[in-house]
Every structure is written in structure tokens, then in C-alpha cells.
Chain A
Amino acid sequence: MTQPPDSPAPPTPADDPAARRGGVRALRQGVVDALGAPALLLFASYLGFGSLVHGAELSLFAGIASTIATFALPGQIVAVELYATGATLTGIALAVALTNVRLLPMTLALLPRFGKAPRWQLYALAHVIAVTGWVQAMTVLHRMPMADRVPYYAGFAAVLMSSTLAGTVFGFLASDVVPAALSLGLIMVNPIYFLLMLSRNLAVPAHAWAMGFGVVLGPSLHLLSPDWGLLATGLIAGTAGFVIGRRPLRNRNG
């Protein structure tokens, strides 16, 4: 997240036929790159979300709407889980906002790579910024011609969106058909997927401390207050981790 922003692109007229052909090629490349591991993993994790929606006694359409309109799994799970525990709307809004706030620094870091693309394209692309696509974009975009970047990311994200939708639908429908034990396995996908994803961020001391405190406070504060426990966990454990984790980092940087 600390790489310098790229230099601005040379202006590319949208009506130049050669540029348009290049755009189609970049879009196709994005589609091809997303097919495979990224699409498969998202499909698997949204299978879990689909069964979670089913388990919370929400409808399939509610699950589909959540996936299209939110497109960020942690926030979707927080929303459905808190809904199931009977939390208030304010509590849900704050917890989801805090869960997804990472999208702000992620967007800030990614946006410069799209150069001088039209604002409406950026606001549209921003909706499909989530961990999987973001990691891919941060890895490959800077090696591409500026004009290819928006179509490439659009193609990549379109595949991801399709696989999350397919996962939501199959996960929900499977809960009705497959044996109860198997649908429990599907629901279990959510916590273990996030457990593994989170474990990859233990290298930053502040994040590791924040998560360590979170693991301890999460269950205990939930038992104290199902409505506000998660929110309090984030604020208390996150702040503690931030304060503790800063000092060693600063020393190391001199």
C-alpha cells in the first residue's frame, strides 16, 4: 500500500478504434485471469454465505441482494449474523461500517493506478473493490498500459461477481437438499476462511495484537451484550492493538 502512484497516462481517445480493440483484449484478459483460483475460492466462501443466509431464515432473494449490493463478504456475514441475533439497525450499521472500513484505505491505495479514467468509471469500479480483486489489481495493474487497466479490472471483477452470486445461490439451495451435516460444513466455511485470511496479516505487530485481543474479547463481550459486543470488541481491541503495535514499529524505523 505504500508504492508511489503511477505517472499519469497519455490521453487515449475513447473513439480510437485501435484503443477500443485493446480495451476488449484487456477485458478478456481480466476474465481469463479471474477464472481459476480466485473465482473458485470466492465461490466456495459464498457457498458458506448462502447457507448462512438460509440458516438465518432469510430468503434466497435477500442473499442475492446482499451479494450484489454489498459485495464484501465480511460485512455481509456481520449483517446476517447480527440480524440473526436480533441486533438493532444502528448496531448493525455501525458494525458493518467498522468491518468494511478497510475498503477506504484499499480504495485510496488502488485508485491512482487507474490514472485519469472518467469519474463515473471510477465510482462504478469502486463498488467491486474487495480483497480478491484488490490484491490482483495491486499486483498486475502497474505493468499494463494505462488504457487497459479499467477494462481489465472490469473483466476480472465481472467473473468474481458471477462466482459470488453462483456461490450464494448454490449454498442457499444446497442447504435444503443436502444432509444436515453437510450444510453445517458449508456454514463452517465462513469462520475458517476468515481465520486463514486473517492469519496472513499477522506480520504487522499492530494488526496481530488487535486480532489477538479481538479473539479474547469477541466471545466474552458477545455474552455480555449480543447487540454491542462486536462493536465494542472492534473499538477496544483495535485501539489497544494500534497503541501497543505502534511503538516497536517506530523504533524499528528509527
Chain B
Amino acid sequence: MNANIENSIEAKVEEVHLSFRESLVVLAVVSIVCLASNWAGTGINPIKALPAMLIIYGMIFVGLLLTKYVRIGFPAVAWVSLISVLLTIPVSPVSAAILSELKNLNFLSIVTPVLAYAAMAITKMEVDLFKRSGFKIAVISILVFTGTYVGSALVANALL
């Protein structure tokens, strides 16, 4: 295939990795964005939702620390998820307190900005790839997504 695509794929793979400090700074900005989105979506003002956001920030902070120092191939998402699950299981002493604060943060409202960033991040290479072999790949992709989703749902449905 075209050498152009190949080069740009390589460029794409060489992604920018944020350092620990940079991650924390970005996280602070993203938290502000989330508070604004949450405000627009739920009417809960940022001051009321701030404790919830700080709890989230704390969980992620610990998650990023663990990702940095405990190198067992666990990605940050897995650490963060593990921490928040463990803190809120029924036997956890802080579970009730965390849950009552986090009610102020709507789960869909904090995804809205993520998709906005995702759309901004689409690169020239991705647009080109789409234009060039868009149709075939689009059809195959839809089949892949549908097959995976329906396959999993069928198995789960049969075993529930």
C-alpha cells in the first residue's frame, strides 16, 4: 500500500505521553471542564459539586501514582477503576460518604467533554485514511462492532 499511509501510521503510534506532573495539571483543567458540563446538564452548581470532583481527583491521583511506581503492566484506567471500586464496596467504611457526594456529579455529563476532545483530536492521517478506503473499512467496522456487541449480548443473555 501507499507509503504515505504507512509513514503516518508510524507517526501516529509515536504518541505523546504525558509525564506525571503534566497529567495532574491536565486533570485539573479537565475537572473544571467537567464541572461546567455538569452544571449545564444537571443544574448542580460547581461549588456544590466540588467535593465530588475533589474525591474523583484524589482517586485518580492515587491511580496515577500506582501506575508510575507499581509497574505490573496495569494501565492507569485499571488502577483508577480498582481504587474506586474498592472504596465503594458495601463493606468499605467510606462507601456511604463517597456515594452521597458523588451523586452531585452526573455520569453522562462528564463524558460529554471527553467526546469533544476526541473529535478535536482527529488528525489529518485519520481523515485521509477515511477518504481513501472509507467505504470498505466503514462497512467492515460496522460489522465488527455489531458482531462483537451482539455476540457478547447473546452469550450474556443465555447465561443470565
A and B found bound together: no
Task: State the A residues within 8 Å of B (CB).
Answer: none
